[in-house]
Amino acid sequence: MALRRKLIVGNWKMNGNLAALAELAPIAEAARAAAGVDVAVCPPFTLIAPAVARANGIAIGAQDVHAAASGAHTGCVSAAMLKEVHAQLVIVGHSERRAEQQESDAAVCAKAQAALAEGFQTIVCVGESAAEREAGRAVEVVSGQLAGSLPEEAHEGELVVAYEPIWAIGTGKVAIPADVAEMHAAIRAALVQRFGERGTRIRILYGGSVKADNAAELMRVPDVDGALVGGASLTAAQFVPIVEAAHG
């Protein structure tokens, strides 16, 4: 079995301001104490540069990126632009973007390719809806998203997969450990089938209402290599216990 460090990533979504960056200091302190755990925070684009200045050992990333290097794409940001402000990772394909911006698997794949080519750690999100799970199609749907969203070559960056069941994001509902284990095992099998030995080294995160009181249980599930955390990442009081749970 490949030895994979735990990775805990906070996704602030469209939340936060300059004052909120004060939360980074205690998060960074916890990250330094949690040997063997990588910690990152992805604030809104406007906060990336000032967050980098206060990161003090944690990685700062972006919540999206455009596939093109430049051009007439109003409101979008390229991988090179993110690199210039010293972001270190990028999230692509989050279900909220797939739904609100109608992003297809092909679009997500192109974004991932652009981010990886610039050397970013790139988190590709996948996950099924409640209706798809109830119909018994969860593994089928996620496997299809993986096939369409993951680029063939990692280039300079590190590829990470985040499994976030859509019905668990921001709802307080969390997939039971048996369901998480089944899905992460299916994702791992798909990664190994596609990438060979490299597939054993790709980290798989769980996301969906991860909180202090369920993080330790989730971290014990096989092939759960960390978490992509939404609301609970907005304050150190809620995020630090998740980092500590990953440390074990």
Report the distance separating Cα 51 and Cα 56, nearest Å. 9
Report the distance separating Cα 174 and Cα 58, nearest Å. 26
**Of the candidates 79, 8, 15, 1, the residue with the CA atom closest to the CA atom of residue 46:** 15
Looking only at the bridges linking them, the beta strands covering 37-42 and 6-11 are: parallel
Q: What are phi and psi of 42, to 5 degrees?
A: -115, 95
Q: Are 122 and 116 in contact (CB under 8 A)?
A: yes
- Residue 238 CB-density burial (10 A; 0-12 exposed, 13-18 middle, 19+ buried): middle
**Of the candidates 59, 49, 45, 50, the residue with the CA atom closest to the CA atom of residue 13:** 45
Report the distance separating Cα 46 and Cα 126, nearest Å. 26
Cα 84 to its chain centre, rounded Å, is: 21
Token pair 């390229």 in the structure block, residue: 78
Question: Active-site positions?
Answer: 94, 164
Structure token digits, residue 185: 């095992």
